[in-house]
Structure 1
Amino acid sequence: MELQLLAALALGVAAVVALILWSRLDAFVGLLAGALVTGVVAGVPVTELIDHISTGFGSTLGGIGVVIALGVMIGKILEESGGADALAKLFVRMAGKGREDVAMTATGAVVSVPVFCDSGFVILHPLARSLARRYGRPIVTLCLALAGGLAITHHMVPPTPGPLAAAGLFGADLGSVILAGLLFVIPLIPVVVAYARIVGPRLESQLDPALVGDADEDEIGKEPADPRIGAFRASIPLLLPLLLIVGNTVTGAAMEGSAVATVFAFLGEPAIALLIGLAIAVYLLPPRGTDRKTVLGWLTAAAASAGMIVFITGAGGAFGEVLRQSGVGDALADAVSGWPVPMFLMPFLIASFVRVAQGSGTVAIITAATLSAPIVEAAGVNPTLAVLSACAGSMVFSYFSDSFFWVVTRFTGLSGVAAMKMWSGMTTTLWLASLPLLGVAALILN
């Protein structure tokens, strides 16, 4: 790898860390500064560098900004109307009291198969907060459990874009990849729960009260009162958007080009699906007699809390775009491809380094599959195993250039070192846990 690109990566990340941890500037400015430092040191012309930052910021917000805003609004309506409490009680009844973290992990793992992590967390995090408030569980623990469940299937199981693209690039049978990915995820669920239970309580004292309100001590440990609305009614604004998004995925694959697929392609677009969910929430959930001014006040408060999350997420996308366009990710991948390691681990290593370099797990999977496909094919590595390897490697060390890092940590209420302990630590633990699983898969598939 060229020394200049290595220096660009190191100095860019150092600038982000230094500004976020030790200056009076917030993460939004820190990420933009890191993008500028990386681009300048890498030799990107200034005019192109500005274009890369604008493109990365705009494309990231175009994909997730509206979803975040709408999801926060649905969550606010659920909280204020009592809908989140009704769903929380249902979740505890299904999983059993004391196993709320297991319920959140399993829910996240199921939802993230057809839905992006960011959208799934935005939609479901009010449940985690309500469970934490009502049953005296640490908010960090339940948010970690939810986010971890979302992450493992997002990285490992098609039809999410990364695994789907890798299956095509490696020439693997898609059905085999789906089955193998699901089997791979099962032993990772206890890892998510264990990490959440160990780390969550230790970070609870570092929650920012400006981001997450403190629980009412009188409510902790008590069985919640009967909610004002039923769980089924409360679930409609959550389930309908998810079903529309899933319907888009299924009809797009099974009925491509049909009229049904065309309808679902529109209704199942995350922003449209959540807009429908918000409209239903506004008119279905508030108790009878709630006036228009009150509901508008809820939505205004939600928009205010979503604003900084949206901007930070966009800045993370800008930083990631500069890392990609500067050539740092490709240079790392080329360097790793020449290392003397078992061939089934080649996609794993390339994906790991690309993920660290530019933040996107999907880009890491696709880059690893593109560069390693000729190598693993020549070595006779099973294509399904190669897909699992690239996908597992992409889970490593989610940090400032990953939009999901900001969604998880800011919605939870953590920043700085605590945020990295929460989410960078979780993803790295899952990455390490996947190594022995890859070894077992190699014994079975090769």
Structure 2
Amino acid sequence: MLALVVGISTIVVLVLRTRLDAFAALLIAALVTGSIAGSAPTDTITSITTGFGTTLGSIGIVIGLGVAVGKILEVSGGADSLAKAFLRAFGKGREPWAMGSTGALVSIPVFCDSGYVIMNPLARSIARVKQGGYVTLALALGCGMTLTHHLVPPTPGPLGVAGILGADLGGLILVGLLFSVLLLPVVVAYAKWIGPKLESEINAEVRNAVYESATVGSGGHGGTGTGTVVDDPATSSGERPERKKLGAGVASLPLLVPLLLIVLNTAATAIDRSNQGVLGPEDDYTASGWAATLAFIGNPVVALLIGLVLAVYVLLPRWTPREKVSGWLADAAASAGLILLITGAGGALGQVLRDSGVGDELAEAIAGTGLPGILVPFLVATLVRLAQGSGTVAMITAAGVSAPLVTGLGLDPLAAALACCAGSMVFSYFNDSYFWVVTRFTGLDGVAALKGWSGITTAAWAGSIPLVLLAGWLL
């Protein structure tokens, strides 16, 4: 138990107080944990390399492909087309619902930071026409993105959690989407409640840009995503090629086709196993013809590869230079690099906890307290998020800590994955780059920023608690 406490504390201290990043912090924490737990140094190194390789072997390609699809959606204007379609679908008077739903959809393939910068001009345009309500729209958009960014693959964080815990990816997509739908009313209700109270707190520069100017020119604080926050959000998505306007149906193909294939694979496998009477996860199972076909094209690697091909050849004009497309994909690969390393390091920490016996000890201790086991990954993710700010690091750390506990606590890997992801949504504030993106573009500072953005993310986190408990009971 001391090894675990010191290990997690090492991550927090190194990220907050040193020049090292989360990747190095997780590896050092794995070494510290193994040493205190009494593992031989060579055994600890073996656990680290095994856990790192196993985790990335199962999920690394998927993360890289998912980020690439998001980048093409971003630069092609596909994300814009989807957002405008949602606005038309919801109709006048339901703009907060439209913005929250738009954010949730766009943030599945596109990083929050980039997605918010791309979509924020829509919120400003609506507020300018209505001459009011900008804070409500901006918060609903931002937290709608938070929901799916934390809960729905192929966002890299949930992908990494699924790989570390061995959770079914199709199941995580389905239940993550369900969680997002159920939590969206919480987000919209909080935005509609707090927005009017903070409207007068918008700083002069943003107020002028939203309500008095036809151009948008508010600056933003840099974040960690596939894009960069620049001075003009309207042009922030990068070097967009000249193109004909994309329809929402076409724009959705690179997103919906992979998700549909992955979900079909999950459903087909479940039905086929049931037909064969093979219900246990450890039982021998050979897919029949139709299920084998769906298992192949619905494998996350193949499905997302299909999505990337669709994105490049359907969304981008035929005259887009090959060099420019290669440059965008290289940018996506660069942004995925640190996420891959952090995900692998989280898997390494989990393997050390498993091999050293720390996981078994923690499971026994929790079982003796009467605390629902499903709350363990949830609370670990919550504490790490509060300590160091990154939701991705928080959920991956929680997954690494929880991986050895899943069997001992009687948890389903899918339920544990949902708990890790939901727990990491809590109280986004100064140590979170996305906090600065949203508050700078919204024009909120100080206490107003905490009431608006920190409050709405905490409301989403609190709303997820009964859902997590229900998932732990049902799954």
The TM-score with structure 2 as length reference comes to 0.62
Closer, same or farther: CA 292–259 of 1 in aligned 2, 3 Å: same
Match of 1:304 among 334, 340, 365: 334
Percent of aligned pairs with the same residue?
42
Match of 2:270 among 253, 256, 264: 253
**Cross-structure match for 2:144:** 145
Match of 2:313 among 283, 288, 296: 283
- SS at the partner of 2:96? coil
Query: Is the 2:26–2:346 Cα contact (8 Å) retained in structure 1?
Result: yes
Residues 168-205 of structure 1, C-alpha deviations (whole Å, 9 max, x = no match):
xxxxxx9xxx99x9998875443455678979x9xx96
- Work out the CA distance in 2 between the residues paired with 1:59 and 1:280: 29
**AA partner of residue 228 (structure 1):** K
Closer, same or farther: CA 258–192 of 1 in aligned 2, 3 Å: farther
Deviation at 1:226, TM superposition (A): 10
**Cross-structure match for 1:98:** 96
**AA partner of residue 250 (structure 2):** R
Match of 2:343 among 286, 293, 313: 313
Residue 267 in 1 paired to residue 297 in 2?
A: yes
Residue 327 in 1 paired to residue 367 in 2?
A: no
Number of residue pairs the alignment of both structures matches:
375
- Work out the CA distance in 2 between the residues paired with 1:391 and 1:312: 17
**Cross-structure match for 1:292:** 322
- Work out the CA distance in 2 between the residues paired with 1:219 and 1:350: 42
Residues 21-79 of structure 1, C-alpha deviations (whole Å, 9 max, x = no match):
12122221111111111111111111111111112211222232212211222222222
Residue 214 in 1 paired to residue 229 in 2?
A: yes
Please list every run of 5 or more consecutive structure 2 residues that lacks an aligned counterpart in the other structure. Answer: 125-133, 154-161, 196-201, 203-218, 236-241, 274-286, 385-395, 438-449
Deviation at 1:364, TM superposition (A): 4.5
Residue 240 in 1 paired to residue 270 in 2?
A: no
**Cross-structure match for 2:53:** 58
Deviation at 1:261, TM superposition (A): 0.9
**AA partner of residue 223 (structure 2):** D
Closer, same or farther: CA 368–182 of 1 in aligned 2, 3 Å: same
Query: Is the 1:337–1:350 Cα contact (8 Å) retained in structure 2?
Result: no
Match of 1:130 among 108, 118, 132: 118
Quick check: 272-281 or 10-19, which moved more? 10-19
User: Please, what is the CA RMSD of the aligned residues?
Assistant: 5.0
Please list every run of 5 or more consecutive structure 1 residues that lacks an aligned counterpart in the other structure. Answer: 109-119, 155-159, 167-173, 374-385, 400-404, 415-420
Residue 40 in 1 paired to residue 25 in 2?
A: no
The TM-score with structure 1 as length reference comes to 0.65
- SS at the partner of 2:368? coil
Deviation at 1:284, TM superposition (A): 1.5
- Work out the CA distance in 2 between the residues paired with 1:47 and 1:212: 40
- Work out the CA distance in 2 between the residues paired with 1:54 and 1:425: 40
Query: Is the 2:87–2:95 Cα contact (8 Å) retained in structure 1?
Result: yes
- Work out the CA distance in 2 between the residues paired with 1:210 and 1:185: 21
Residues 258-277 of structure 1, C-alpha deviations (whole Å, 9 max, x = no match):
31110111111111111111
- SS at the partner of 2:340? helix
- Work out the CA distance in 1 between the residues paired with 2:227 and 2:30: 29
